[in-house]
Chain A
Amino acid sequence: MPSRYGPYGGAFVPETLVPALEELERTWKAARRDAGFRRELSRYSRSLGGRPTPLYFAERLSRRAGGAQIWLKREDLVHGGAHKFNNALGQGLLARRMGKPRLIAETGAGQHGVATAMIGAALGLRTEIYMGEVDMERQRPNVLRMRLLGAEVHPVTSGQRTLKDAINAALRDWISNVRTTHYLLGSAVGPHPFPAIVADFQSVIGREIAREAACLWGRPPDLAVACVGGGSNAIGTFHPLLRTRTELLGVEAGGPRGHPTGAASLARGRPGILHGTYSYVLQDRDGEIRDTASISAGLDYAGVGPEHAFLKDSGRARYVAVHDEDALRAFRWLSEDEGIIPALEPSHAIFAAVREARRRPASHRIVVTLSGRGDKDLEVVGRAVGA
């Protein structure tokens, strides 16, 4: 597994963390070769996580689009309601293998925090979650879930009080407690080896898509679409499809219409170093990280995983930004057409998929990774649509 993706990636971290990152890489490499570890991962995935998840033909949504077929990869059905389980489980097992009794994690929308809290409970590891105060307010149900699962939730009051600041706080905790604590980073960002590990554990999404596509159609999908904040569900979707002819489309949060950047690091940022990795970053002329805006807490981040930066530059994947207003429209389409209430994060991907479907023939198959369910967003959406 590479520490660089073209020029991107690397490990820009204080020296205190280097031995822990090296230990993590060693442990992970050994675990991948260990049949016992793989068996345990797949047993928990199946019997605790509910994997594999189905591919669902969204017939009425496809009809609304009027063009290509839209299929949903149902990661919203994974235990906890999001794809975050896949990585939390994998890293939780690595933490146990390293003998670290304490997990910490950052969370934006709270989905990764919930997944980490579940895994912490299931594996008997003490769990503490850092979450920006703004996000705690807008994703309240998930805060309650984390606490019920036995995790301690620390409000982060610095900076913009969202995901970026939660990562800062978690990194600072890790610097202080690195000997006893594993930082269970939830997205495909951060210093090496995190982007590679997260992509590895999330690649189960793309592998299942490829397998089911082969059964159903005898070939991979024409287009795969996934939302990108840090980019973990997208990289998990894309990875196993990289060597196929499937077009790849990542969908960032454009924020409210008129906002200069939203949270679209790839579309509107430039290369820089944030949270230990070299990738696209929303920053000002002096290299200070800019404030972001998005209706979805999970996409509201000024950076993005380094492999996405590489896929963008190489042209293997395309990236577009979708505004809050359009994500909300897609949220309602999926709810009303299919009876599935999506999280706000993949609602961005749904909107982009519908737009793509319109331009394509009925024979084309588009797979959208529905990375999470929307229960956590009911308040935000209710307020936005005045329901």
Chain B
Amino acid sequence: MVDRARKGRYTSLAITARDAGATHLELGFPFSDPIADGPILQEAADRALRHGTHWDDLRSAVRDTSTVLPTIVMSYANPLWTRGLARSLANLKEAGAAGLIVPDLSLEESPPWRRAARRAGLDLTLLAAPGSPLARIDALARASRGFLYLVSRYGTTGGGEISRSADLAPLVRSAHAAAPELPVYVGFGIRDRRTALRAMASGADGVIVASALESALARRPSTATVPRVLGPIASAVRTGGT
């Protein structure tokens, strides 16, 4: 999560994440009403807003991290919409962002967003969920750019058990068949080696870690925290992926 209190530390956080095995960095822009998020990311957003975090903090954070790792911005729809979609996305591209995740953007609402992202040169990643019918998974995979974000279970981000690999596998297979070049990454509830292995066993190409890292950083805001959380997950992805 972008937080004004973290100013000046994004580059070193990105470097440690890269060294721990991360291939991309997701930077969240805090929103007052994050309906897809569990308590950890809700609190992180509240904290960031209390610290006076603004749009310009996001741009400068992206500038810092994008020299180290391809940086994907996660933002709810309203902050992007409110300053004009074309302008927001141009801002992010100019700061160096590679892609964008909008957790409250449905496939049905996505066409103007996909056009704007294409024009700005950003990959707009769509989310698929365990309840999505397979035909819908195919449509999502074909419309998604960068990767497909597969939500691991019914629930919000953070704690809780992820679905069984056997339940996720058909979704991953279907997405791979519809869009053979597009990697599928599993997120929501990936926090350690066990959950990462379980996600990878579905045939996914990678995992996304947010709450686990955010809560560890909230407890111990040092760069040493990053490899402690990401190391075991990255190694699970390497072994699970082969």
Contacts of B221 in A (CB 8 A): none
Closest-by-CB residue of A relative to B82 is A287
Compute how far the CA of A182 lies from the CA of B158 in the bound complex, rounded to whole angstroms. Answer: 23
Output the least CB separation between A226 and chain B (Å): 26
Q: Give residues in B with beta carbon < 8 Å to A.
A: 30-36, 38, 42, 46, 49, 54-55, 76-83, 103-109, 126-133, 136, 140, 151, 154-156, 160
Compute how far the CA of A273 lies from the CA of B80 in the bound complex, rounded to whole angstroms. Answer: 10
Within 8 A of B (CB), among A172-212: 172, 175-179
Closest-by-CB residue of B relative to A172 is B156
Output the least CB separation between A373 and chain B (Å): 31
- Counting chain A residues whose Cβ lies within 8 A of the other chain, the interface size class is 20 to 34
Contacts of A286 in B (CB 8 A): 54-55, 79, 82-83
> Judging by beta carbons under 8 Å apart, are A15 and B132 in contact?
yes
16 further contact pairs, Cβ within 8 A, besides A14-B36, A158-B46, A273-B77: A11-B109, A13-B106, A14-B129, A15-B127, A15-B140, A16-B130, A18-B132, A176-B155, A178-B154, A286-B82, A287-B79, A287-B81, A288-B30, A288-B31, A289-B33, A289-B78
Instruction: Write 10 A-B pairs (CB below 8 A) sorted by A numbering.
Output: A13-B106, A14-B104, A16-B129, A18-B106, A168-B35, A172-B38, A175-B35, A285-B83, A286-B55, A288-B31
Contacts of A74 in B (CB 8 A): none
Contact pattern, A 1-44, Cβ under 8 Å of B = 1, otherwise 0: 00000000011111110111000000000000000000000000
Is the CB of A171 closer than 8 A to any CB of chain B?
yes
> Judging by beta carbons under 8 Å apart, are A274 and B33 in contact?
yes
Compute how far the CA of A96 lies from the CA of B155 in the bound complex, rounded to whole angstroms. Answer: 23
Contact pattern, A 145-187, Cβ under 8 Å of B = 1, otherwise 0: 0000000000000110000100010011001111100000000
Output the least CB separation between B215 and chain A (Å): 16
Closest-by-CB residue of A relative to B83 is A287
> Judging by beta carbons under 8 Å apart, are A288 and B36 in contact?
no
Main secondary structure of the interface of A (DSSP, over half): mixed
Q: A12-B106, A274-B33 are in contact. Are A19 and B131 (CB under 8 A)?
A: yes
Compute how far the CA of A20 lies from the CA of B136 in the bound complex, rounded to whole angstroms. Answer: 14
Contacts of B140 in A (CB 8 A): 15
Contacts of B132 in A (CB 8 A): 15, 18-19
Q: A168-B33, A171-B35, A289-B33 are in contact. Are A15 and B82 (CB under 8 A)?
A: no
Contacts of B83 in A (CB 8 A): 285-287
Contacts of A159 in B (CB 8 A): 32-33, 46
Compute how far the CA of A75 lies from the CA of B47 in the bound complex, rounded to whole angstroms. Answer: 43
Binds B, one of A80-88, A133-141, A275-283, A356-364: A275-283
Closest-by-CB residue of B relative to A20 is B131
Output the least CB separation between B229 and chain A (Å): 24
Output the least CB separation between A369 and chain B (Å): 29
Output the least CB separation between B96 and chain A (Å): 20
> Judging by beta carbons under 8 Å apart, are A16 and B154 in contact?
yes
> Judging by beta carbons under 8 Å apart, are A276 and B133 in contact?
no
Q: Which of A10, A178, A288 contacts B131 (CB 8 A)?
A: A178
Compute how far the CA of A275 lies from the CA of B33 in the bound complex, rounded to whole angstroms. Answer: 8
> Judging by beta carbons under 8 Å apart, are A10 and B109 in contact?
yes
Output the least CB separation between B103 and chain A (Å): 6
Closest-by-CB residue of B relative to A173 is B156
> Judging by beta carbons under 8 Å apart, are A273 and B131 in contact?
no
Is the CB of A240 closer than 8 A to any CB of chain B?
no
Q: A14-B36, A159-B33, A288-B49 are in contact. Are A273 and B106 (CB under 8 A)?
A: no
